[in-house]
């Protein structure tokens, strides 16, 4: 029942925010900012971007149930991803000089290549055998690096669609979209994994289900990269700030 009430509650909230904005109030979600050209597409990209969240669940299941690693060893396997994710944002200021805003789709492209490469690697490895640690580590590093490169530029790309006065609000909306994406990806792509797996506990079936669901994540990231390129090519037309915007903030 709560889930069915979400559209109604969202409609009521939107009407209230519109009414508040039209009567000189200071809405939490300003309709003027949310109507900015390209903002909706940017939020869709954010939803596609964080589908990677489900990978951490699926890869852990693959490592522990198909390769029979314990939780400590499974966690250590993720270290190259973490290293890439740490290095990515540190490289962003330098790489942005050459790639500009295209660094975000480039990062998502790296994630797509890393995940697709992992699917190829596990499918080419004998059932129950551990994949090449060098190749696996490199692909995990590439995926983490792509995540680290794309995230800062994605936030900048979305908040850049609105006037600076609205950037804090849009940053919060974007963070909400990322969290929604993480939850939905675990539910939807996790559902793909377990639907493909069925009642089987065989190593080959787990590997197959992992490959199918990881390709679904890669597809979402590839689509996000394509939409990012399209959005970057569309000039940002910032909406004008209402005259009473700053005065409302001061009186608040």
Q: Which of 75, 151, 71 is nearest to 110 (CA)?
A: 151
User: Rounded to whole angstroms, how far apart are CA atoms 204 and 171?
Assistant: 43
With cut-offs at 50, 70 and 90, classify the pLDDT of residue 100.
Answer: confident
pLDDT over 80 at 35, yes or no: no
- Report angle CA 122, 126, 127 to the nearest 5 degrees: 85
Residue 116 has pLDDT above 90, yes or no: yes
Each domain of the chain, given as residue ranges in start order, spans 37-234
Give the pLDDT confidence of 144-157 residue by residue, as tens digits.
999 999 988 888 88
pLDDT greater at residue 200 or residue 10? 200
**What is the predicted pLDDT for the residue at 240?**
56
Q: What is the CATH number of domain 37-234?
A: 1.20.1250.20
- For residue 223, name the pLDDT band (cuts at 50, 70, 90): very high
What is the reported pLDDT for 214? 95
> With bands split at pLDDT 50, 70 and 90, how would you rate the model's confidence at 252?
very low
**Nearest CA to 107 among 119, 91, 122?**
91
Give the pair of three-digit tokens for residue 70. 């314990």
Higher-confidence residue of 57 and 27: namely 57
Question: What is the distance between the alpha carbons of residues 43 and 38, in angstroms, rounded to a whole number?
Answer: 9
Q: State whether the Cα torsion 227-228-233-239 is positive or negative.
A: positive
């Amino acid at each position: 029942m709560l889930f069915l009430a979400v559209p109604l509650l969202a409609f009521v909230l939107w009407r209230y925010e519109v009414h508040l904005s039209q009567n000189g109030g200071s809405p939490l979600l300003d309709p003027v900012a949310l109507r900015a050209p390209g903002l909706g597409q940017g939020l869709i990209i954010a939803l596609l971007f964080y589908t990677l969240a489900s990978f951490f669940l699926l890869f852990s299941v693959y490592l522990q149930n198909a390769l029979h690693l314990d939780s400590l060893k499974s966690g250590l396997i993720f270290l190259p991803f973490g290293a890439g994710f740490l290095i990515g944002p540190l490289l962003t200021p330098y790489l942005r000089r050459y790639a500009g805003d295209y660094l975000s789709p480039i990062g998502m492209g790296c994630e797509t290549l890393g995940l697709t490469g992992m699917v190829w690697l596990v499918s080419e490895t004998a059932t129950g055998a551990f994949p090449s640690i060098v190749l696996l580590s490199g692909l995990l590093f590439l995926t983490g690096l792509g995540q680290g490169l794309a995230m800062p530029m994605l936030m900048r790309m979305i908040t850049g669609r609105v006037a600076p006065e609205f950037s804090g609000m849009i940053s919060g909306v974007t963070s909400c979209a990322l969290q929604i994406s993480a939850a939905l990806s675990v539910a939807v792509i996790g559902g793909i994994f377990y639907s493909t797996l069925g009642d089987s506990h065989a190593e080959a079936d787990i590997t197959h289900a992992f490959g199918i669901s990881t390709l679904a994540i890669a597809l979402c990231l590839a689509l996000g990269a394509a939409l990012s390129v399209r959005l970057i090519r569309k000039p940002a037309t910032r909406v004008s700030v209402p005259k009473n915007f700053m005065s409302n903030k001061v009186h608040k």
